[in-house]
Amino acid sequence: MTAANHAVLIKRAATASIFTAVTLLLAKVFAWSVSDSASVLSSLLDSLMDIAASLVNYFAVRYALMPADDDHPFGHTKAEGLAALVQSAFILGSATFLLLHVLDRLVRPRELVALEESIAVMIFSVFATMALVAYQRWVYRQTQSLAIKADSAHYYGDILTSAAVVVALLAAQWDIYWLDPVVALGIAAVLLYSVYGIVTDALEVLMDKAMPEEDEEELKGIISSCAGVRGFHDLKTRQAGAIQFIQLHLDLDGKQTLESAHTIGDKVEKAVLARFPRAEILVHHDPV
């Protein structure tokens, strides 16, 4: 995939996320205003956080896609990790607010009204979010964008929580009102758990974690299979979004010319780029 196509896909996914979040927020504001349901409020707050997070995501990915410059010679890809941390802060805030509201509803359950309208809104929310997550996951497979992955993960949680809200509203039709705050409590727990996963992924990027083990093993096989390579050492890798940073020392015949050694190094780089087309590679030649 070309860098231009990579950028277009990420921007489209970020835009789709914002559009979906705004649409669902407006629908849930209506549902909560007529039903006074704690579980609908929990879903509404989640959508509000979705908008805030998606806006951060939108601007972060645009910045991350900017080419390297004199001040940032390795590019701006770590902006995605920072965006993921900001998203986690938004989610943590909404979960905390929701917990405080749910505790009050557990102590003082209330009768719910306008259930049919609320159920219709939440069913629409489930299907709209499913469509968005399917698109985001396809984009992530193509781009390996951490910001899109984080966005998709917490929209996937929205599918489950919206479905749970539907169950709670259906139960309320049979006067089972205690299930409404219980579902809201479960949603708060899901939100808190999602914060852990997002923060972990973001810190791995910001702390320069190595490429996945399976990718490194494949990389080693590619290097070893190149003609003229007697070995290699000091292999170091890190990954930021879809870009891999690779540096290594090649063991080459010390009796050959410098030109021949560089030709072998070029072949190694081309072989690696054939598998990891967006990689940044630094090769040092060691005579043996």
Domain spans in the chain, listed from the N-terminal domain onward:
3-206, 213-287
User: Which residue carries 């000091």 as its tokens?
Assistant: 234
* Beta partners for residue 287, in sequence order: 252
Asked whether residue 213 carries a pLDDT value surpassing 70, the answer given is yes
Asked whether residue 198 carries a pLDDT value surpassing 60, the answer given is yes
Q: Which two tokens stand for residue 286?
A: 């060691």
What's the per-residue H, E or C state across the chain?
A: CCHHHHHHHHHHHHHHHHHHHHHHHHHHHHHHHHHCCHHHHHHHHHHHHHHHHHHHHHHHHHHHCCCCCCCCCCCCCCHHHHHHHHHHHHHHHHHHHHHHHHHHHHHCCCCCCCHHHHHHHHHHHHHHHHHHHHHHHHHHHHHCCHHHHHHHHHHHHHHHHHHHHHHHHHHHCCCCCCHHHHHHHHHHHHHHHHHHHHHHHHHHHHCCCCCCHHHHHHHHHHHHCCCCCCEEEEEEEEEECCEEEEEEEEEECCCCCHHHHHHHHHHHHHHHHHHCCCCEEEEEEEEC
Compute the average pLDDT of residues 89-103.
79
pLDDT at 221: 93
Q: Which of 36, 20, 32, 38 is nearest to 188 (CA)?
A: 38
Compute the average pLDDT of residues 90-95.
79
**pLDDT confidence of 246, banded at 50, 70, 90?**
very high
Q: Cβ(11)–Cβ(61) under 8 Å?
A: yes
Compute the average pLDDT of residues 16-24.
87
More confident residue, 35 or 2: 35
Q: Cβ(133)–Cβ(159) under 8 Å?
A: yes
Compute the average pLDDT of residues 178-197.
80
**pLDDT tens-digit map of 25-59:** 899 899 888 887 877 887 887 788 777 777 777 77
CATH pick for 213-287 out of 1.10.760.10, 3.30.70.1350, 3.30.70.360, 3.30.460.80: 3.30.70.1350
Helices 79-107 and 179-206 pack at an angle, to 10 degrees, of: 160
Asked whether residue 4 carries a pLDDT value surpassing 70, the answer given is no
CATH number belonging to domain 3-206? 1.20.1510.10
Asked whether residue 241 carries a pLDDT value surpassing 70, the answer given is no
Half-sphere exposure of residue 91, counting CA atoms within 13 Å on the CB side? 30
Q: Cβ(148)–Cβ(140) under 8 Å?
A: yes
Mean residue pLDDT across the chain: 83
Asked whether residue 6 carries a pLDDT value surpassing 60, the answer given is yes
**pLDDT confidence of 240, banded at 50, 70, 90?**
confident
Q: Cβ(22)–Cβ(55) under 8 Å?
A: no
Asked whether residue 1 carries a pLDDT value surpassing 60, the answer given is no
Can you give the pTM of this predicted structure? 0.60
pLDDT at 191: 78
